[in-house]
Structure 1
Amino acid sequence: MGDHNTFGKLGEQKAVDYLKASGYDIVKRNYRYLKAEIDIIARQGDILVIIEVKSRTKGFLEDVSHVITPKKVKLLTMAANHFVEEMEADVEVRFDIVTVIKHADHFDIEHIENAFYHF
C-alpha cells in the first residue's frame, strides 16, 4: 500500500475516533457501490450522515469546494441512495466533510456539517 493510502486510512481512523467521541454511531466504513465509495456512514440520532474524509498534510491545503467536485457529489449521492434503499429505511440524509490536517506532532480535525446538498 502506498504512503498516500496509508495516510488516507490513518486520516479516516482519526475521523472515526473524532465522530465517535462526538456521539455519532458508525454504521459502515468504505461503502462501495459501482464506482462510488463513501468513506464513513454514521448515524446521529435519526439522521443518516454520509461523510467524506479529506486528509492532508499541513503544506497541502485546498479549498474544500475544489476537492468535492460535482462528479464526486453525484457519486456520493448515488451510493447513499443505494445504501438507504438496501436498508429499506425512511431516514433524513445529510452530507458532511471531515478534514484531517497533519502537523508535525498533531492532527487538526474540522467537521463541516451539511457541506453540500444532493439536489
Structure 2
Amino acid sequence: MNLGQLAEQQAQDYLCAQGLTPVATNVRYPFGELDLVMRQGGCWVFVEVKYRSSSRFGGALTALSAAQIRRIRAAASHFLQLQGINAPCRFDLVAIDAGAVEWLQNAF
C-alpha cells in the first residue's frame, strides 16, 4: 500500500468514527476521480483526501486546485447520474499533514 492509499484509509477510518458510512473508494472516470464516497444520514459526501508529509510547501489544505475541484464535481455528478441518486450531497476535504487529520465539511 502506498502513502496515498494509507492516507485514504486513515481518512475513511476517521470519518467512520465520526458517523459516516463508506460507499465507494477510488471511483475513476476518464475526466475525474473520487477518493471516497460516503453517506451521512441522507446526504452523499464526496471526500477528497490530501496528504502531505510536511507542511513546508503550504500543507495539504492548500493542495487543492480549481481544476481538481472541477474534475471532482464532474465525477460526482456522473456518479450520481449512474446510480440514479437524487439526494443532497456535499464536498468535503480531509487534509492529513504529518499524521494530523483535519476534516473540512463543505470545503468547496
Give the TM-score taking structure 1 as reference length: 0.83
2:36·2:46 contact (CA, 8 Å) conserved in 1? yes
Give per-residue Cα distances to partners, 1:10-47, cap 9 Å, x unaligned.
11110011011111000000001113111000000011
* Secondary structure of 2:2's aligned partner: helix
Provide the alpha-carbon RMSD of the alignment.
1.7
Q: CA deviation at 1:79?
A: 0.4
Q: Which runs of 4+ in 1 moved over 6 A?
A: none
Q: What is the one-letter code of the residue matched to 2:66?
A: P
After alignment, is 64-73 or 18-27 more displaced?
64-73
For structure 1, the residue ranges without an aligned partner over 5 or more in a row are none
- 1:1-119 equivalences in 2 (<5 Å): 6-62=2-58, 66-102=62-98, 107-116=99-108
Q: What is the one-letter code of the residue matched to 1:110?
A: E
Give per-residue Cα distances to partners, 1:27-72, cap 9 Å, x unaligned.
0000011131110000000110010000111354526664221111
Larger Rg belongs to: 1
After alignment, is 45-54 or 64-73 more displaced?
64-73
Q: What is the one-letter code of the residue matched to 2:95?
A: T
For structure 2, the residue ranges without an aligned partner over 5 or more in a row are none
Give the TM-score taking structure 2 as reference length: 0.91
User: What is the CA–CA distance in structure 1 between the aligned matches of 2:105 and 2:24, rounded to whole Å?
Assistant: 18
Q: How many residues align?
A: 108
